Amino acid sequence: MPANVLDGVDAAKLIDGVAIAKQVRAAVAREVEALKARGVTPGLTVVLVGDDPASTVYVRSKEKACIEAGMNGQTIRLPADTPQADLLALIDKLNADPTVHGILVQMPPPKHIDPQAVILRIAAEKDVDGFHPVNVGRIWIGEKSGFAPCTPAGVMVMLESAGCRVQGANAVVLGRSTIVGKPMTSLLVNASATVTVCHSKTKDLAAVTRGADILIAAIGKPEFVKADMVKPGAVVIDVGINRVDDPSQKKGYRIVGDVAFDAVKNVASKISPVPGGVGPMTIAMLLKNTVRAAAQGMK
């Protein structure tokens, strides 16, 4: 396979997550209208326990996106001291509600609540976050009815939109989290890429990443991936979102990815920016999963 997995591309070009997400959301809106014509309005319920500022903003954006797509978007806010039993009882109620097609409990919950117990309680067919073990298994074996976690699912759409040949490519996933790294690996394997997963115990990490035609950085370390870690012509997708101090900024900080963007863009053929790359895709894919859950529930 040639070093450059994008034919005819010499200089790095941005993979615009904002534009791609807009296309996904437009397609979702059309699907919503088609389902409404059949008597079903897709509905997503987000449960927020506590008042974490970042989670509150994120949940608000999800509700807004649902409404813009013509879906039913509901947010249930619970006090931070809500007992786990009460939260699980609420999930049971939502599982039984035929107007709710997707359920998402914003993570992380307060420390007294076991996140795994919450994930297991959500019905797999309404787990549009893709974290239930049933969906994890379905994604690993390539079962089409499964829901993939929204961020790695969004990365796959970005690669497709960028014209990247995944089949036969050497892909390196930097990070092995259950939220991004592991499901990202399964999606790439099922797309017929040859996949290497790197983590903190990987020996000679730079040598491994330099072998990647497609490099997915999801390690959670600001600007960790340097230019000398990237093969010329590789496609680089930056999943990281990190806050770093920057006195020159009004807020006193700036947001950067896991990739040293300014240097790596001169080596890669295509690269996603932070912000404006993977981030917008996450909510778009959440909407897409919810619409698919509604459609599957009609069968």
What residues are annotated to the active site? 62, 106, 129
CB-CB contact of 32 with 290 (8 Å): no
CB atoms within 10 A of CB 88: 17
Tokens, residue 291: 């619409």
Q: What separation in angstroms does the CA of 282 have from each of 95, 187, 196, 210, 285?
A: 23, 15, 23, 27, 5
Alpha carbon distance 149, 129 (integer Å)? 5
H helix or E strand, kind and range, residue 45:
strand 43-49
Packing angle, helices 279-297 and 150-161, rounded to 10: 110
